[in-house]
Structure 1
Amino acid sequence: MTTDDRIQRAVELYERAVFGGDTDAPAEALFWTGCFHQVVGDDTGTAVPLFERSLALAERAGDRLTMSYALRHLGFVAHMAGRLPVARERFEESNRLRREVGFPAGVAANLIGLAYIAAAEGDREGALALLDEAADLADGAAAHGIRRSIDEARTEI
């Protein structure tokens, strides 16, 4: 048994002991831990492996909402690194999942990210169309905070 196999086995045993049979909880916990490191600690290096592990566990558990969160934050990482096609792919996949689970406010939030990507690629018209769609969704979901972000993005773009 390799060291990696031992580590993986230890993680599985720990997750079983801590979370019992709840297969969604470890993915969600890892996501929020990664989110803390990314947003509060400005520590992407620590956050990325947590998001990746969260995504893998959420996929295994069929937890589409947590998958969408992990993908969104991995999209931010790719965007900040200038890897726009990867960022777009992650935001789009997150949106697909969010639409499936009926989370329009989350779709609106992702459309803001996609608008910034479109603008960075020189497609201002496409970016503004994405913000129009985001505004419709945010208004329908009474997502006032997201609406403010849309208005800020529209000003910046």
Structure 2
Amino acid sequence: MSVDTRIEQANKAYEQTVFGADASGLPAAARELTALEADLALAQGQNLHAVYLDQRRLDQAVEDPRELELFQRAAELYRSLVDRRGEGEATFWIGCFHQVVRDDHETAIPLFEQALALATEAGDDLTKSYALRHLGFVNHAAGRLDEAREHLEESTRLRRELGFTAGVAANLIGLAYLAFAQERGQDCAALLDEADELAAEVGAKAVRDMVEEARQEM
């Protein structure tokens, strides 16, 4: 596995300073190392979230407090770098932790809204799609079905534009549940059929399992 170029840059700045008496490269190296730490914290937090979801599938889910700590650390570091894109993504994941792991929608809502604003500012359509998706879930749970549909449809539009096929399929399942709640049976069936077709195209087995589960519940 190759060494990250940011570490290589830091090593060069070190040698340039120690052996060449030129410390001009240290500030940039420090910034890149901070960005690397932020990226690593975010990735580690996402890994722990995936572990939680896999455990939940087996009814063995246990909260790992490191997940929240890592996302919060990532957000703090991105904020110090004035990296709106990174801060928005990390903020979304903090909200996701509260919503998914702790079932705390009230804490999650302002975090999703902040993540949406930051992602919009940064032009990060993927994080926007995630924030909108999870705001849709919040609205659905609160009985605000029209708002939930609006958020999920916008998230789905963004995901189609990004070519995020598995994400589109996952959203269509959410829209199918909304259609069921609004007694739009024909829409519900069509949404699940498309979700299954898209999931099959990209080998998203977990999403196909969700489609089957949805069909059994509706």
TM-score tier (shorter): 0.7 to 0.9
What secondary structure, in the 3-state scheme, does the structure 1 residue paired with 2:93 have? helix
Q: 1:74 pairs with 118, 128, 135, which one? A: 135
How far residue 17 of structure 1 moved from its aligned partner, in angstroms, is 6.9
User: How big is each residue's C-alpha offset from its partner over 1:21-76, in whole Å with a ceiling of 9 and x where there is no partner?
Assistant: 53311000000000000011111111000000000000000000000000000000
Percent identity of equivalent pairs: 60
Letter of the structure 1 residue corresponding to residue 204 of structure 2: A
- Between the two proteins, the alignment pairs up a number of residues equal to 144
TM-score normalised to structure 2 length: 0.64
Letter of the structure 2 residue corresponding to residue 86 of structure 1: E
Q: 2:125 pairs with 47, 61, 64, which one? A: 64
CA–CA distance in structure 2, aligned partners of residues 130 and 16 of structure 1? 40
Letter of the structure 2 residue corresponding to residue 122 of structure 1: E
How far residue 141 of structure 1 moved from its aligned partner, in angstroms, is 1.1
Match in the other structure for 1:4:
none
In structure 1, runs of 5+ residues without a counterpart are: 1-13
Q: 2:151 pairs with 65, 90, 111, which one? A: 90
What secondary structure, in the 3-state scheme, does the structure 2 residue paired with 1:142 have? coil
How far residue 111 of structure 1 moved from its aligned partner, in angstroms, is 0.3
Match in the other structure for 1:105:
166
How far residue 126 of structure 1 moved from its aligned partner, in angstroms, is 1.2
TM-score normalised to structure 1 length: 0.87
What secondary structure, in the 3-state scheme, does the structure 1 residue paired with 2:158 have? helix
Moved beyond 2 Å, runs of 4+: 14-19
Structure 1 residues 19, 103: CA separation in 2 closer, same or farther (over 3 Å shift)? Answer: farther
Structure 1 residues 155, 60: CA separation in 2 closer, same or farther (over 3 Å shift)? Answer: same
User: How big is each residue's C-alpha offset from its partner over 1:91-146, in whole Å with a ceiling of 9 and x where there is no partner?
Assistant: 00000110111101000000001000001111122101100000111000110000
CA contact (8 A) 1:27 1:66 kept: yes
Q: Which shows bigger deviation, 27-36 or 15-24?
A: 15-24
CA–CA distance in structure 1, aligned partners of residues 206 and 124 of structure 2? 25
Match in the other structure for 1:7:
none
In structure 2, runs of 5+ residues without a counterpart are: 1-74
**1:116 lines up with 2:182 in the alignment:** no
CA–CA distance in structure 2, aligned partners of residues 151 and 130 of structure 1? 12
User: Between Structure 1 and Structure 2, whose CA radius of gyration is higher?
Assistant: 2
CA–CA distance in structure 2, aligned partners of residues 42 and 79 of structure 1? 14
How far residue 15 of structure 1 moved from its aligned partner, in angstroms, is 6.1
Match in the other structure for 1:151:
212
Match in the other structure for 1:9:
none
